[in-house]
Amino acid sequence: MEKDPLRGNASIPMSYPATYQAVGGQLENGQQIRTVSLSSDDDMIDITTTGTTTERSIHGEELGSHCGVQFIGLQVSGDSDDIPGIGQYEDFHTIDWQRDIARDRMRHRYIIKKKQDSICDLIKGAHDAWSGWVCVLFVGLVTGVVAGVIDIGASWMSDLKYGICPEAFWLNREQCCWSSNETTFDNGNCSQWWTWPEVFSQSREGVGPYIISYLFYIVWALMFAALSAALVRMFAPYACGSGIPEIKTILSGFIIRGYLGKWTLIIKSVGIMLAVSAGLSLGKEGPMVHIACCIGNILSYLFPKYGRNEAKKREILSAAAAAGVSVAFGAPIGGVLFSLEEVSYYFPLKTLWRSFFCALVAAFILRSINPFGNEHSVLFYVEYNKPWIFFELVPFVALGIIGGMVATLFIKANLYWCRYRKVSKLGQYPVTEVLVVAVVTAVIAYPNPYTRMNTSQLIFLLFSQCGVSNSDNLCDYNRNFTDVNSAIEIAAAGPGVYKAVWLLVLALVFKLVATIFTFGFKAPCGLFIPSLCLGAIMGRIVGIGMEQLAYNYPHIWLFSGECSTGDDCITPGLYAMVGAAAVLGGVTRMTVSLVVIMFELTGGVRYIVPLMAAAMASKWVGDALGRQGIYDAHIELNGYPFLDSKEEFAHTSLAADVMQPKHNEPLSVLTQDSMTVDDVETLLKETEHNGFPVVVSRESQYLVGFVLRRDLNLAIANAKRTLEGICGQSLVLFVNSAPPQATGPPPLKLKKILDMAPITMTDQTPMETVVDMFRKLGLRQTLVTHNGRLLGVITKKDVLRHVKQMDNEDPNSVLFN
């Protein structure tokens, strides 16, 4: 039991979720209230009135029927939620973390207290305790199933560009060939799988069949891309892009209604299958995070604890983001670290455990579905585990540096193109743009076998080691395989390898240019796979160079005698892995999560140190050449109000320099007991502020609290609808006791929507501290005072504009509230 400092002689537990108004009011029969007390068992409110010595008691079991009974001067109500919509937010607004977390604590304390009352309340309490785990369990289950469907659908549609399985058209090329008894397949084709020329009774080889294959490739690519872009345009405009910049913004406390809705989920899932199958230079891994967050958002509404509380909902969304990466790469731990390092803003320990559980469930379900049709649940499993030579750290770091440079070039070029798209007429024709990109990509990609094949297959080929079964040009070494189990000897590269290297250089340039134009257009598109592909091509070329160096000069000190035995001591596939990590690290600026994702993705635990070296070098080079990763750059480009917790504020300004309004300008405030409903409505019409400070009077400007615009609108509309006598002349009261008034309409009491503990600071507070408070407390606004008197307000938007101004950027690029 605590004494409430705001309410004289009322002894009330602070945790009780009723709103109570001060002693001194009146009951309906005119008696004055003298004391209000709660008995020690927290079940009884005693109201002692004047004119009688009897105590009026409302017992716990009666409380349900008395909840919300309006006494004049005393009101007991279950929560401020009795006005519909209170506690919710408008679209494109920032949430108030402190208020939402406080509301949840209050609700939790109420449930804990009620637990002793009955078995029913005990069950409710238990349900409340485990609802978070149940919710993330459901999110993991559904995410795993959706990911399995997307993987199977995308692989089948991708193979449709090359041919069909006449015995069972629903099988992709690999599944079609499982029943074949042939030992060698020509370019992965078996007799069961018919290429399109064969369907039209042509041979597989020759000029005619090549032209037919080429045409079919372009037509299917065009159809898939057109369908993907049209679905996004018609049904879910939010389903375009990768979604990770917006997820980061939403997790930082911003509301984008519909971004995580059911239509976005359906269209993004179908659209990403189509876009990947069209052979465009994009991946489905980034959109998987968006899809998982959609699932998390939809399922959170089954649990009101999360569905109705935006701050709590973000805990579920963080876990969902982890599940998204988990199913995209088969990397559950990498997913948790990705959510922690890259997307989440508020990540308590409880969320870490739930994310871990969610990622585990999702990965388990995907493994059960087995979409890749092999014993590995990861995309690019590598069979080799040769130790690397200490000297190789030099080329690994060099790959990191080159990766950082390529990534910076990509980010700058992509941003330039996206800005151009925003300001030019191109932005008005999104579907046409997708079609043009798809046609150009298909026409240029087909002649080169490395760009024609699926990007994931290309990465797997570049990561893999040359063995007996590899018939690709990359493995055209002058070797004699006498024994399948013998060690692979180091050998001179044949003409096929040099041809493959030239084709890979062309593929690198093409993929880089294609991804610049692809990322950010109006179809679902991810960035992980194209980045990995660019790096893998680069790394494989460097790896082949190192291998030939070791073959030609095996005895120099660099290779410390390890290459003199004749065994293959340099593994080009490892260089491809390191290069892939370098470019992806440079593009996204991930470090820890990237390394974990890479070794989970390939199963190459032995190569953690090379991956770490490359990721670190890549990040340093990227940070030196350009401040932001691709996601932060797109957040800034779109003008989202994202206050990055990784950046430092190094300027010496004060709160007084940033607050609104500036000196000598009027401040829009409400007074606690001297404004009418008409006055308040006029203020609401004339201003667009999201909230108003409440002061004692305009003369004194002493602060009482803060009220949100939305809550004020809802409360006035609700009062006019439900309370008799409320009209334009009614006084609006934010205090318990009304000023004496002779006659007139009854006053409108709005104390229950007043935040009586707003975050305040003095006008001399350094902006460094203000920015820190906005970041760490997740503030929406803070009030500025001087000697206890209100001076102004600082909102999140003001802080963002000030940061931009100090960095010599355009402050008006921050678009939203």
- The ranges assigned to domains in the chain are 136-156+222-369, 397-633, 655-807
Other CB atoms within a 10 A radius of the CB of residue 744 amount to: 12
Spell out the residues 6+ positions from residue 110 whose beta carbon is closer than 8 angstroms to its own. 15, 16, 17
What per-residue confidence (pLDDT) applies to 339?
94
Q: What is the pLDDT of residue 236?
A: 94
Same fold, 136-156+222-369 and 397-633: yes
pLDDT tier for residue 9 given thresholds of 50, 70 and 90: very low
Task: Tell me how many helices (H) and strands (E) the chain has.
Answer: 28, 15
Backbone conformation region of residue 188, classed left if phi is above 0, alpha if psi is from -120 to 50, else beta: left
* Residue 105 Cα distances to 32, 112, 267, 303, 305, angstroms: 34, 10, 37, 16, 11
CA distance 346 to 330: 25
- Residue 534, amino acid: L
Low-confidence winner among 261-275, 479-493, 579-593, 716-730 (lowest mean pLDDT):
479-493
For helices 572-588 and 455-463, the axis angle rounded to 10 degrees is 130
Nearest to 280 by CA among 433, 82, 429, 392: 433
Instruction: Return the pLDDT at 808.
Output: 80
Q: Using pLDDT thresholds of 50, 70 and 90, give the confidence band for residue 243.
A: very high
pLDDT band of 358, cuts 50, 70, 90: very high
Sign of the four-CA dihedral 199, 204, 209, 210:
positive
Is residue 728's pLDDT more than 80?
Answer: yes
- For residues 4-19, give the mean pLDDT: 36
Q: Quote the pLDDT of residue 116.
A: 85
Handedness of CA 525, 529, 530, 532 (dihedral sign): positive
Provide the token pair at 537. 């091509």
- Residues 526 and 524: their CA atoms lie apart, in Å, by 7
Which sign does the torsion angle of CA 65, 67, 68, 72 carry?
Answer: positive
Average pLDDT, the chain: 84
Q: Residue type at 817?
A: N
pLDDT at 23: 38
CA separation for the pair 547, 475 (Å, rounded): 12
pLDDT at 24 over 70: no
Between CA 663 and CA 672 the distance in angstroms is 24
Continuous segment of H or E residues that includes residue 782: strand 781-786
pLDDT tens digits, 301-351 = 999 899 999 999 999 999 999 999 999 998 999 999 999 998 988 888 999
- CA dihedral over 274, 279, 284, 286, signed as positive or negative: negative
pLDDT exceeds 80 at position 25: no
Which amino acid, one-letter code, is at 109? R
3-state DSSP assignment of residue 5: coil
pLDDT of residue 31: 44
CA distance 700 to 789: 7
> Do residues 345 and 645 make contact, with C-beta atoms less than 8 angstroms apart?
yes
For residue 260, count CB atoms less than 10 angstroms from its CB and return exposed for 0-12, middle for 13-18, buried for 19 or more: buried
Pick from 3, 76, 29, 24: which is nearest to 736 by CA?
24
Range 499-517 average pLDDT: 95
At 60, is the pLDDT very low, low, confident or very high (cuts 50, 70, 90)? very low
pLDDT band at 115 (very low <50, low <70, confident <90, very high): confident
> Residue 231: left (phi > 0), alpha (psi -120 to 50), or beta?
alpha
pLDDT at 174: 82
The label of the residue with tokens 């029927």 reads: 65
Main-chain phi, psi angles of 150, to 5 degrees: -65, -45
What's the average model confidence in pLDDT over 196-221? Answer: 88
**What is the domain class of 397-633 according to CATH?**
mainly alpha
Is pLDDT of 2 > 80? no
The full DSSP string for 157-198 is HHHHTTEE-TT-TTS-HHHHTTT---S--BTTB-TTSEEHHH
pTM: 0.86
* Topology of the domain comprising 655-807: CBS-domain (3.10.580)
Highest mean pLDDT pick, 178-187, 550-559, 597-606? 597-606
Instruction: Say which range, 13-27, 280-294, 787-801, has the weakest mean pLDDT.
Output: 13-27
Q: Select the more confidently predicted residue: 564 or 241.
A: 241
Buried (b) or exposed (e) across 654-665, using 16+ Cβ within 10 A? bbbebbbeeeee
Determine the distance from the C-alpha atom of residue 467 to the mean position of all C-alpha atoms in its chain, rounded to a whole number: 41
Please give the pLDDT value at position 8.
37
User: Which pLDDT does position 50 carry in this prediction?
Assistant: 42
CATH superfamily of 136-156+222-369: Clc chloride channel (1.10.3080.10)
Taking the C-alpha atoms of residue 233 and residue 297, their distance in angstroms, rounded to an integer, is: 22
Report the alpha-carbon distance of residue 666 to residue 609 in Å, rounded.
61
pLDDT of 785 reads 93
* Whether pLDDT at 66 is above 50: no
Cβ proximity of 455 and 529 under 8 Å: yes
Under a CB-based contact definition with an 8 Å cutoff, are residues 595 and 581 in contact?
yes
Higher pLDDT, 83 or 257: 257
Name the percent of the chain lying above pLDDT 90: 52
Give the per-residue pLDDT at 742: 59
pLDDT at 185: 52
Strands 703-708 and 691-695: antiparallel
Least confident window among 199-208, 689-698, 807-816: 807-816
CA atoms within 13 A on the CB side of 410: 33
Helix axes 393-423, 528-552, angle to 10 degrees: 150
Helices (H), ranges, 118-261: 119-160, 173-176, 196-199, 207-235, 244-251
Task: Look at residue 768 in the predicted model and tell me its pLDDT.
Answer: 92
Mean pLDDT over 94-101 rounds to: 90
Strand order, beta sheet including 691-695 = 670-671, 691-695, 703-708
pLDDT, tens only, 395-443: 999 999 999 999 999 999 999 999 999 999 888 999 999 999 999 999 9
| Lowest-confidence region among 120-124, 371-375, 777-781, 783-787 | 371-375
